[in-house]
Chains A and B, each alone.
Chain A
Amino acid sequence: MPTTLKYQEKDLKLVGTRPPRPDGVDKVTGRARFGADYNLPGQLIGKVLRSPHAHARIKSIDTAAALALPGVKAVVTRDDFAEMPDEMAAVGELMINFRDVTRNMMAREKALYDGHPVAAVAAVSESVARAALALIKVEFEVLPHVIDVVEAMQPGAPLLHEDQFTVGVKPKPERPSNIAKRLEFGRGDVAAGFAQAEVIVEREFNTKPVHQGYIEPQACLASYSADGQAELWTSTQGHFVFRAQCAKVLQMEVSKIRVTPTEIGGGFGGKNNIYNEALAIALSRKSNRPVKMVMTREEVFRGTGPTPGANVKVKLGCTRDGRITAAQAELNFQAGAFPGSPVNQASMCAFTRYDLANVQVVGNDVTVNRPKVAAYRAPGAPIAVFGVESVVDEMAKKLGIDPIEFRLKNAAKEGTQTYYGPRLGPIGYIQTLEAARAHAHYRAPLGPNQGRGVATGFWFNIGNETTCALNLQEDGTLTLMLGTIDVAGGSRAAMAMMVAEELGIEFERVRPVVGDTAALGFNFLTAGSRSTFASGMASVIAARQVIEKLRARVAKIREVPLEAVAWKDGQARPAEGGGAQFAPMTLAEIAKMAGKTGGTIAGHAEINAQGAGPGFGTHIVDVEVDRETGWIRILRYTVVQDVGKAIHPAYVEGQLQGGAAQGIGWALNEEYFYGDDGVLQNPGFLDYRMPVASDLPYIDTVIVEVPNPNHPYGVRGCGEVPIIAPMAAIANAVENAIGLRLFAQPFSPPRVLKAIEDAAAARD
């Protein structure tokens, strides 16, 4: 069986059109079942007790009074979970250590952030569960805390982990540190490169953590039976990975846990990790009843992972005619309470849009007393690119070169050697720049206090382990069993479209279903913009296998040689020059006879998809700045992106628009506010300010298609690239509007007004 299929250009009937998605009716009628919509008879409600302290040693936990409360059926604490080995695993695009997974799920020695779980209860109702939490007595020894990344890096800062010595520094440091890891990427000689430069720009940027902001809080339902088997329904981006994590922390065999993924109300990377799942299974085990656990919005903010806040330094050197001679960055990323920020990925994405001989990127992964970070759509890249694309913009302006022209002069293209390893294959970066430059947006007139900014983004995209099964039913319809979660509601349709295209049949005859963990072999999470690429690849492999089997079956039924049978437009027909004639057979006719002629016809694939094509995008934004209040209005936004091939253009447009909107929110108003006590002050949607409908204009999209040679339809992942450029694009637009550059995100009105006033004062 092939494990990869190369791109083949061909006439397409279905791929590239816009059929209605198969789960659409359920979602618009309220019939679709998300995590909190599942219930089992006899279920209990589970709730988590969370640390009110940012940093504290847990001296004792007394659960006796809670257990004695009528209606309470089980309580768990750290004593109910085994110590975990020091063992790394991949979770989406971030790596995790199981030692940390269990501690993040339930604190052991210390509470490391406001919101850190310390105990959990299961009771007959929500109000009894809440009353039980109030009866649990925890003795904390409060410790000094640190939440700022630069402060946390200083020697003498409050230390989260006494046994954490910075990895990547030689010789191994003598003293432990909050810097968990230092990494470095590069090529060439930056010192020489800067020496050659005629103009140098060097700037420092600071960003705050932001949350993925999925509207559906985490929700799960666990049912453990006395024979040691557990069923789990949960809203997840990866049911196989959740099964693996639960099995590990609960010391159960993987096959004893069956995870059914519910519909998911947004993830964006934040549902790549378990939070309550293993707690719910453990509570179910102890109480002998199903346990349902649904987070409140406050818990989502206090207890689930944001993306890091960071301190970023960028230095760029150029010749006068606009060629970059050296590029350097230092990325200091908060990891939250446990190591594992996306500083790696951020480093890879910082400069890759440019063809550079001399590059150095140093990254530091720093633990601080905040929730452990989780992936957030192109993890790390928007932060690094905020710095880099701002500096690029400043450099272009200094040199008097148009910002798109500057990027074209230095653009990465096919054959460019990246500084983190691979050489780039065919890519569409230049095409997106040219399309942006040609777009009417780029020429539209601007009024007073209005400005335009451009920025670009790159994401490598991934493939990974993927399986699927395609079964031909008795009536000639097909069921495509998928193992990748359909987070945004477009990929189910895209896979079915590719299968229908392969078979030459109508879209409606292929029913895509996301199976549970018992239905298929391991599938990696839906992350890294991988599902249309990898699951699409697997689906096409399965479809081609089905076609081979159909041909063989028809050859048998019609008693002709295999070479005489061709598959075209949904039918088996005599092949041209195949040497035999026979009456064609439709899929339905073959299917009807399948049982009697050898059995059900099916195809399947188990691959580790390689060759994911990187994605590039160029954004243009117009803003208007109210100089008296510092308020930024987004007037117009255009996203241009190379997606390889848009299987279903409406859902590709949706990814571009949604990612840009998140980037805009990140730029303008989203941030976590902490008090001096390290407690989160805005754990809700009132003061964690995500864009509402009246905050945004229409977001125009331009789809560029430079096929990925490593996918049968040329697909590149598209979901992550669009969130990368907005922060820098908006900062660049503000600079264009009022001559003021912003270095701290978010660009909230008080910050902007202060920057305006400081600049005016400096001038006077």
Chain B
Amino acid sequence: MLPKVPRETLLDLCRRMFIIRHFEESLVPLHEKGVFAGHYHLYIGQEATGVPALACLQADDYLFTTHRNHGHLLARGADPKRLCAEILGRSDGYNKGKGGSFHTVVPSLGFLHTSAVVAGIIPLAIGTAYASKALKNGRVTVCLFGDGALEEGAAPESLNLASLRKLPVLFLCENNGKYGAGRAAGAAQSPSMAVYPLTDLPRAYKIPTQQVDGADAGAVHALVSETVEKIRRGDGPSFIEAQTVRWPGSETNWPSVLQPTHSALAWDVSVVPEKVREWYRACDPVLIFVRELIEAKQATREEIAEIESKVKAEIAAAVNSAVASPYPPPEDAAKDYFA
């Protein structure tokens, strides 16, 4: 379903989903051509969680994200040029090339620190929440992580502390392993986590939990806005598990775009290679959102195509600008290691 927000907001959410999708799809050929180094992780397939969830927050709220951060930063309004430049290790990047894909921060948007250790941010998120409570500034912290983060000890220690101190923090776990191994047999979610459902873990620490279909933008928006409101008024922490179906392009260690996205796929997937067609037909959250907009007569196909084509031009320009950005002077590596 669609979020219950004005039409302009719906179209803006659609635009942000396209920004994420086309940004991420643009990175893959750059990496294949060797334009940037190292490993990286994409947010494709989770757009309908991050975009509506982050739309529920205030400008001064804190957010923490992980190695899979591009989508969260873009959903919150980060500049694709500077994000791309950071991923490419260039001086125009948000962290002047010192962070990279794993560690991009945008303090003005509430992202103070991005950890590539899967549960690294969870103790930090209860820390900003502790500070907000002590300073009585009404800020909520949203901690965005994947299902794998719950496998590290930092997670249960932090859940316990957050519950004991009634800290204003939302743990938003994006489980992109729906239909993963073992699930069909009614067994554990994955071969590496005995807790199932994942919400049993926070529940053991007396933290209220909810599950939501992460491809359902309206359900995510309704649940996160209601939950954040409760947290802001002092009810203590909450935990939401958003379930998404893993994008087939991420099945290997290195992402690959088997089918470039365009909005017409929302009503015709015949061009999609057969082995990934089902995901684009039934699971792609961006295409689901597009279909819902059209069915609800909030936008025409032409309007959607126009939004998408503007986004594609914006992303192409951002990528070009990032590629043209110089590398930082090597000697900067030895500077600015202390305040």
Partners in one complex: no
Residues of A within 8 A of B (CB): none
Residues of B within 8 A of A (CB): none
